[in-house]
Amino acid sequence: MFCNKNSDSACRWKRRKEARPEEILDAALQLFTEKGFSSTRMVDVAKAAGISKGTLYLYFDSKEAIFRDVVQQRITPQLDQVEAMVESFEGTQEDLLRQLINVWWMSIACTSLSAIPKIIVAESGNFPELAKYFTQSVVVRSRNLFSKVISRGMINGEFNLYESETVARLVVAPLVQATIWMHSLKPYDDESGTQGYLQLHTEFILNSLVKQPRLNLIQNKSDS
């Protein structure tokens, strides 16, 4: 869309209108993180987004609708990309699992989305439908990706045989717990033990999964 002098204000209005949903999501997620989901009111979201409460209701009719849109706009596209990566990956399942753990960490733990697991855990009893929605849309879908990679590694002989879904839970749980810690106990805890957390967690998982030749290779490297 090209603007001339007579339409500059109309263009600015159009850009502002198109930007509002993103601004609302940013403001809401920050408030959910700082105040908690229960304590955040729609009027708080409107104020933080720089709009009136009436304008907010033109876009969203509830806090739950805003949260769902955060998931749909910020998490679902990332899951789509990761699923495509898993399907097209041509290397070993060990390399894919390592990459999958790293992608999860970089896209969730290292972003504002890291607050969401803590929000859901804290509010699951008060908002069971929201917790159910998040579990099905994000938790189960994410875990299934890990389970698929682990299962393929077992089938092709790379990994030792275990129950793949249980292993997937063991992979994901410490990552989720780390994000909850970031938004709860971190200010009161000693961070010195968190250095290399992701790398060490990944190695623990792979040392358990990957068959013996990999362990021999690690031993040979240490001997040399």
Query: 24 near 49, Cβ under 8 Å?
Result: yes
Residues found in the chain: 224
Helices (H) then strands (E): counts for the chain: 12, 0
Specify the pLDDT at position 3.
40
Query: What global pTM score does this model have?
Result: 0.83
What's phi and psi for 210, nearest 5 deg?
-70, 140
- For 150, counting Cβ atoms within 10 Å of its Cβ (0-12 exposed, 13-18 middle, 19+ buried), the class is buried
For a pLDDT cut of 90, what percent of the chain falls above it?
81
Buried b (16+ CB within 10 A) or exposed e, 37-55: beebebebbbebbebeeee
Specify the pLDDT at position 89.
95
Q: How far is CA 178 from CA 37, 107, 110, in A?
A: 20, 14, 11
Going by C-alpha positions, the residue among 86, 88, 82, 140 that lies closest to residue 106 is 82
Going by C-alpha positions, the residue among 156, 171, 165 that lies closest to residue 206 is 171
Spatial distance between the Cα atoms of 213 and 219, rounded to a whole number of angstroms: 10
| Domains of the chain and CATH, by start | 1-61 (1.10.10.60), 63-223 (1.10.357.10)
Banded pLDDT at 212 (limits 50, 70, 90): confident
Specify the pLDDT at position 217.
46
Which tops the pLDDT comparison, 190 or 113?
113
pLDDT digits (tens, 9 = 90+) for 114-132: 999 999 999 999 999 999 9
Specify the pLDDT at position 213.
56
Spatial distance between the Cα atoms of 122 and 120, rounded to a whole number of angstroms: 5
Specify the pLDDT at position 54.
94
